[in-house]
Amino acid sequence: MCGFTLLSIFGIWLYVFAPITAPWVEFGYYGKFHQVQRIIRDTPELTIVDQWQHRDVILEDFGFTVRRPDGSTVQIDFFDHSDQMKLSSDEDIRNYIASFI
């Protein structure tokens, strides 16, 4: 029981203080960020020019500046408690991003 408790505490500590930043990890601290980044990269009409993140206990907000086919740029932001942050399926996020093309 004590081992399980220590393992749980270590797991929580690892999740909060040592988030996995590998782009293929679409869960945990950077999960939504990596999912959205992958979808934007898979959209041939868009190119990521810049990105930002508001790091806290959780990754509350993040966004991407993307270049559209006509050369103009647009900001695609995801804010904590926003409708777009609540999207979870690739299809829903892809449709949201498509509204910026």
pLDDT reading at 4 higher than 70: no
Judged by DSSP in three states, 79 sits in coil
- 34: nearest Cα among 44, 25, 42: 25
Q: What's the whole-number mean pLDDT along residues 73-97?
A: 94
Helices (H), ranges, the chain: 2-17, 31-41, 90-98
Q: What is the pTM of this model?
A: 0.72
Integer Cα distance of 97 and 70 in angstroms: 16
Residue type, 37: Q
Q: What's the whole-number mean pLDDT along residues 24-51?
A: 85
